[in-house]
Structure 1
Amino acid sequence: MTGTIDATGVRDDRRRADGHRAGDRSVGELVHQATEQISQLVRQEAALAKAELTAKGKRAGRGGGLLGAAGALAYVGLFALAAAAGAALALVLPVWAAALVVAGALFLIAGLLALVGRAQLRQVGPPTPQRAIGSVRADVEVIKERAHHR
Structure 2
Amino acid sequence: MTDIHRADSARVQPPGAAHDLDELSTVQLVERLTDQVAGLVRTEMTHALTEVKDKGTRFGIGAGVSGVGVLLLLYGFGALVATAILGLATTLDPWLAALIVAAVLIIVGSVVAAVGARRAKNALPPVPEQMADSVRADVDTVKEGLR
TM-score (ref. length: structure 1): 0.59
Residue 28 in structure 1 maps to residue 27 in structure 2? yes
The percent of aligned pairs where both chains have the same amino acid is 34
**What does residue 141 of structure 1 align with?**
140
More helix, by proportion: 2
**What does residue 93 of structure 2 align with?**
none
- CA displacement at 1:73 relative to structure 2: 2.2
Change (3 A) 1:136 1:73: same
Deviations 1:49-102 (CA, angstroms, capped at 9, x unpaired): 1111111111111111111122112212211112313554x48xxxxxxxxxxx
- Contact in 1 for aligned 2:48/2:128 (Cα 8 Å): yes
**What does residue 41 of structure 2 align with?**
42
- CA displacement at 1:135 relative to structure 2: 0.6
Change (3 A) 1:36 1:145: same
- CA displacement at 1:125 relative to structure 2: 6.7
For 2:10, what is the secondary structure of its paired residue? coil
- Contact in 1 for aligned 2:55/2:124 (Cα 8 Å): no
- CA displacement at 1:145 relative to structure 2: 0.4
Q: Distance in 1 between matches of 2:64 and 2:30?
A: 51
**What does residue 18 of structure 1 align with?**
10
Deviations 1:7-62 (CA, angstroms, capped at 9, x unpaired): xxxxxxxxx98257844111010000000000000111111111111111111111
Q: Distance in 2 between matches of 1:71 and 1:146?
A: 55
Q: Distance in 2 between matches of 1:17 and 1:58?
A: 49
Q: Which has the larger radius of gyration?
A: 1
Change (3 A) 1:61 1:126: closer
**What does residue 84 of structure 2 align with?**
85
- The Cα RMSD (Å) is 3.3
- CA displacement at 1:141 relative to structure 2: 0.2
Deviations 1:115-148 (CA, angstroms, capped at 9, x unpaired): xxxxx99xx9743111111110000000010011
**What does residue 66 of structure 1 align with?**
65
- Aligned residue pairs: how many? 106
Q: Distance in 2 between matches of 1:18 and 1:64?
A: 61
Structure 2, unmatched stretches of 5+, are 1-7, 13-18, 90-117
Q: Distance in 2 between matches of 1:42 and 1:59?
A: 26
Q: Distance in 1 between matches of 2:11 and 2:34?
A: 24
